Amino acid sequence: DTGVSQNPRHKITKRGQNVTFRCDPISEHNRLYWYRQTLGQGPEFLTYFQNEAQLEKSRLLSDRFSAERPKGSFSTLEIQRTEQGDSAMYLCASRKAVSLYGYTFGSGTRLTVV
Amino acid sequence: DAKTTQPNSMESNEEEPVHLPCNHSTISGTDYIHWYRQLPSQGPEYVIHGLTSNVNNRMASLAIAEDRKSSTLILHRATLRDAAVYYCILSKETSGSRLTFGEGTQLTVNP
C-alpha cells in the first residue's frame, strides 16, 4: 500500500497530557499537510510543509501545537497540555508541489481527550 | 478564499445518475474547482477538478457553467459505495497551498 499512513488510528488521553501523531506521506510527495476535523464539519487546515520547511500555519495552530518534518519525509504533530476541545480527527495529506492530481489523505487519527 | 454553497443533503437511488450542484458566484479567473468526497471513517478522497471546460474521469464528470459561477458533479450511475459527503472547493492553483473545506453535501444512496 503506497497511500498516506497515519498512526495511531485512535488515541484516548487525559486532559493535560501530551500526545504525538505520526504521518508517513507517499514517498515522492514533497508537500505534506495537516488538517483537523470535528464532527459534522469539513476538515480545517492547520499547517503544511514543503520538504522539511514549514511554509504556512493556520491561526488555529495555537502554541500548544507543533509540527515537524525533520528529514522531509514523515511528519509528527504534537499537542501539549491537551484540552477537551482538542478532541477531533487529525488528518494528514500529501501531494507533489506541481501535480495534475489532487491531495492524497490518510485515514486520520481520532483523538479523544477525557 | 472564494466561498462555495452546496445543499446540505441529497438522496439518490442506486444505478441512477446523481447531479450534485455547487454555487461559487465570487469565483475568480484563477480559481480551480475541486471536488473531494469523504466516506465514513475515512479521509477525503480526490474526485475531480477543472478550470473552465467540462472534465471527465473514471469516477465522475464535472460540468462547469459558462460564467463559472456554478458547477455540477455528475455521478453517472450511483452505487451504495458512493454514499459520502461531497465537498466542492475553490483553489487558486492545482498546486495550491491548502484546501478550504465547507460542510459539503451528504449524499444518501438508496438500494
**pLDDT tens, position by position, B76-106:** 999 999 999 999 999 876 445 688 898 899 9
Give the single-character DSSP code of A8. Answer: -
Q: A45–B100: do the CB atoms touch at under 8 Å?
A: yes
Partner-chain residue, chosen from B87, B94, B98, that has the shortest CB–CB distance to A99: B94
Residue whose C-alpha is closest to residue A74's, from A110, A10, A12, A20: A20
Of B98, B100, B103, the CB nearest to A33: B98
Question: What's residue B97's pLDDT?
Answer: 62
Q: Is B50 on the interface with A (CB under 8 A)?
A: no
Q: Do the chains contact at A102 and B98, CB–CB below 8 Å?
A: no
What is the DSSP code string of chain B?
----B--SEEEEETTS-EEEEEE-TT--TTPEEEEEEE-TTS--EEEEEESSS-EE-SS-EEEE-TTSSEEEEEESS--GGG-EEEEEEEESSTT-S-------EEEEEE-
Name, of A13-22, A44-53, A101-110, B2-11, the range with top average pLDDT. Answer: A13-22
Cell numbers 495534475 label which residue? A100
- Mean residue pLDDT of chain A comes to 93
- List, for residues A103-114, the tens digit of each pLDDT value: 899 999 999 999
Contact criterion met (CB < 8 Å) for B103 and A41: yes
Cβ count within 10 A of residue A2: 8
